[in-house]
Chains A and B, each alone.
Chain A
Amino acid sequence: MRDWNTQARNRQARLARAAALARANGGKEVAAADAGALLEAVLEPGDRVCLEGNNQKQADFLARALAELNPEKVHDLHMVQSVLALPEHIDVFERGVASQLDFSFSGPQAGRLAKLVSANQIRIGAIHTYLELFGRYFVDLTPRVSLVCAQAADRAGNLYTGPNTEDTPVIVEATAFKSGIVIAQVNEILDSLPRVDIPGGWVDFVIQSPKPHYIEPLFTRDPAQISEIQVLMAMMAIKGIYAEYEVNRLNHGIGFDTAAIELLLPTYAESLGLKGKICRHWALNPHPALIPAIEAGFVESVHSFGSELGMEAYIRARPDVFFTGPDGSMRSNRALCQAAGHYACDMFIGSTLQIDLAGNSSTATLGRISGFGGAPNMGSDARGRRHASPAWLKAGREARAGRNLIPRGQKLVVQMVETFREHMQPAFVEKLDAWELAESANMDLPPVMIYGEDVTHILTEEGVANLLLCRTDEEREQAIRGVAGYTPVGLGRDRRMVENLRDRGIIRRPEDLGVDKRLATRDLLAARSVKDLVRASGGLYDPPKRFRNW
């Protein structure tokens, strides 16, 4: 007779090996000094391990303990984690503790990751979007052991994540219900928690870390750094896209371009009479730059992937807008917010590094394997969507006009770039650097952030190209060249064709949109400094020190 319970019995064996390390109170609490011993006891070579590395909060203490394990005892781990953010996330490979990797995003560690891949110290299974990787946690990449991170635990092992809930629920769910082992690092152990985000029954061990876990303020954009070009582009976005499509449910990228849009809502959008007509519901982290729009009454709701340092008190004071628990603090959830952004939003708008002639966009550069994160889930048409909205229907109509197709809608996916980015690098290119990276790192595919077939609009300081209205590949290429400014791609335009596209409203310049360039000054921003954001919040926003100039 076949044994149908090997996983659970293996789990029991692991727990038994660690039993001596756990203290009283249900045997879940382990001393920080015993973290390495605990990991050695529960881990087996070849295990699939999820080390909670989000793009904001980090299980940094457990990451260090894992990286310091003896590779003769623990080796060949298969790491399945969404973000490689800390040096320790790479150290585990360099030291020979782990050898295989499936992940989503590696921003700050992209250079080291590329080096170790070329030295064969890391085998990458695949680079995923967040939802893909979370999905695979429940299919073929289920973690055997997960090392997660929370603000506090109680004696029973219940966890309180605080506002940065992020990936924790999805990781713990996948691990705990497939006979895996969940170890949590917490900042403090309390007798009673403000609220329970993860039930104690799903958590096996709790370690109070010597220092609070690290959180990166990733979504704070100092309005002082927004340029007048960005103000102009934000005006075009509001008048030429938000207003025309009545965009009410949306996600923004994290760049200065979209921060400019957020800061123009209470001024420019208000002057166009758009309050209550656009931008009411958001799948968005609590961007400080959104404070003036919230205060002006533009924003009805915001659901978040994670939180943002310094926004805690402001969020607590605006529970009608944010998702908060009975304790008053925010609850975020990356997996659910990604799903919301994909299916329930009418628009994604964000920036990129390179766009090719087909509208494919990529942030890949040679020598760095940076991955994707959330943009591809946000920035792609949700082909499983069935509910209608004015924005979705209008985009669908534009894409299908004159063709004998069954009616359906389409998500607006807007790429907003200045024609030249830092160091005068052109944002428009004939061939993406992603091709070269794919070749050098032996990838199956060039890493494309947003596929051209999903992009509906490209917005530059030269104008808006509406790709929905293009009918041939050639039109599409000329529409892109027609807003690519003085880049080689832009200079290579067919002038007559571009004028024709402009006559048909496929390319629109600021003057075609009725946008007065003379108004595009920083005076139009609802906040011109971080301090203005603090003022707008009534003193509730408490920015991290690095963003202050007072």
Chain B
Amino acid sequence: MSSYYEASARERLHALFDRGSFHEFLPPSERVVSPHLVQLDTPAAFDDGVIVGRATLDGRPVLVAAQEGGFMGGAVGEVHGAKLVGLLERARDEKPAAVLLLVESGGVRLHEANAGLIGVSEIMRAVLALRSEGVPVVVLDGGQFGCFGGMGIVARLCDAIVMSEEGRLGLSGPEVIETTCGVEEFDSRDRALVWRTVGGKHRYLLGEADAIVADDISAFRAAAIHLLDTKPDLSLEALTAEHERLGARIEKFGALRDALDIWSALGVEKPENLPLLEADAFRAAVDGKRA
């Protein structure tokens, strides 16, 4: 078993796709670095914290991107964003079986916030354009920094999200919520609270993550293969149904204070035991009870 959580973005790419199949576009040797960080006298990365390229998955061609949390928490800057947009645009021409985004990002890079914000909006637009042309976009989220801010929105615009329990998904990160709303609202140092609020299990129970897997690269690989045949559906009916589902969700759970209350309301027996369960046992325990 090889931990997805502990691996670097490059290790994930090499272990997840068919052996030797990964080919990188704009590799570090091209030295395409952030123009903004240099001006601020801040260390840059030769790949600007994201690796894009092509690979095969179970023999099928895919375009892939992996964000590196180890560089500025995977935050999106101008070059970083442009690489992701370029990959998605390329997919519109090449029509691969799918695009896989191995996300790990705290959101927009504050050092180049305007460029990063524009980058994120372009990524969103590109994801939707690509999906409307029938190419599915699948997100894998199990890294140390989770997936927050602009990338959290991007993730929810895609066709499917695979998470491990260790993965996290949200808009504002725990520290941001605590800083703006106070420790009474959200204690970011209560790590059990953090994980049961933004962690993979809760996202799976709420229906935001489509698959929950063990923290193991081969488990992510198997889940990704399974999702290759997802058919994007951006029809009005599908969107209306999704909105109705979200409306019903807020009605049902909006007044509850804690994830445990929601799990209880979903009819999970002994919700306090869910955090300890391994992925397989967890899926079995919540089978048919997801929102």
Q: Which residues of A contact B (CB under 8 A)?
A: 224, 522, 528-529, 534, 539, 545-550
Contact = CB atoms under 8 A, between A and B. Distances in A.
B3 A548 contact: no
Interface stretch (B26-34, B95-103, B191-199): B191-199
Given A528-B6, A550-B165, A550-B166, A534 B276 contact: yes
Given A534-B276, A539-B276, A550 B192 contact: yes
B189 interface: yes
B147 to A, nearest CB: 15
15 contacts: A528-B3, A545-B191, A545-B193, A546-B189, A546-B190, A546-B191, A547-B191, A548-B191, A548-B195, A548-B275, A549-B194, A549-B195, A549-B199, A550-B165, A550-B166
Interface of B: 3, 5-6, 165-166, 189-196, 199, 201, 275-276
B6 A550 contact: no
A550 B275 contact: yes
Contacts of B195: 548-550
Given A550-B165, A550-B166, A545 B192 contact: yes
Contacts of B5: 529
A550 B3 contact: no
Nearest to B187: A545
A224 B191 CA distance: 14
Contacts of B276: 534, 539, 550
A130 B5 CA distance: 41
Given A224-B6, A539-B276, A549-B195, 5 more contacts: A529-B5, A534-B276, A545-B193, A549-B191, A550-B276
Contacts of A528: 3, 6
B3 to A, nearest CB: 7
A548 B194 CA distance: 9
Nearest to A550: B275
A160 B169 CA distance: 45
Contacts of A547: 191
Nearest to A534: B276
Contacts of B6: 224, 522, 528
A533 to B, nearest CB: 12
Contacts of A546: 189-191
Given A522-B6, A528-B6, A534-B276, A545 B190 contact: yes
Contacts of A545: 190-193
Contacts of B199: 549-550
Contacts of A539: 276
Nearest to B168: A549
A224 B5 CA distance: 10
Contacts of A522: 6
A46 to B, nearest CB: 42
Nearest to A523: B2
Interface centre among A224, A534, A539, A548, by most B CB within 10 Å? A548
A538 to B, nearest CB: 11
A547 B192 CA distance: 8
Contacts of A550: 165-166, 192, 195-196, 199, 201, 275-276
A534 B273 CA distance: 13
Contacts of B193: 545
Nearest to B194: A549
Contacts of B191: 545-549
A267 to B, nearest CB: 14
A334 B26 CA distance: 60
A550 B274 CA distance: 9
